[in-house]
């Protein structure tokens, strides 16, 4: 991971022990749902780290071909597809 000046590493986690593949996508990577693969630990937790500058970012997980919201997220905004995107506020 290349760290840009003024940015910090943000870790995103998703619990899906049965999942085969989990990706993280958001406005920080142009919603590319195949670019940022999460890694699975032995307990079924998937994690992906991204270097982000301070600001608000929308994101979702792409789990085995389906978009999923982060169940740990406490801020969401409506999107153009009639669902919601999660929001992370990087300080």
pTM as predicted: 0.91
Counting the structural domains of the chain, the total is 1
Q: What pLDDT is attached to residue 7? A: 92
> Is the residue at 15 inside a domain?
yes
Q: What angle do CA 16, 48, 82 make, to 5 degrees?
A: 65
Dist. CA 15–CA 7, nearest whole Å: 26
Q: What is the pLDDT of residue 4?
A: 53
Block means of pLDDT (10 residues each) for the chain, 91 residues, are 73 98 98 97 98 97 98 95 97 93
Q: Is residue 61 part of a domain?
A: yes
**Radius of gyration (C-alpha) of the chain in whole angstroms:** 13
| Whole-number Å distance between alpha carbons of 53 and 46 | 23
CATH of residue 69's domain is 2.60.40.10
Please state, in angstroms and rounded to a whole number, the distance separating the CA atoms of residues 13 and 65: 17
């Amino acid at each position: 991971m290349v760290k840009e000046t003024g940015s910090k590493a943000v870790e995103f986690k998703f619990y899906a022990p049965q999942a085969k593949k989990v990706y993280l996508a958001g406005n920080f990577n142009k919603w590319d749902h195949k670019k940022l693969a999460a890694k699975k630990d032995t307990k079924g937790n998937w994690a992906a780290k991204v270097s982000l500058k301070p600001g608000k970012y929308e994101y979702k997980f792409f789990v085995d071909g389906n978009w999923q919201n982060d169940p740990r997220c406490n801020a969401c905004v409506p999107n153009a597809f009639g669902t919601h995107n999660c929001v992370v506020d990087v300080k």
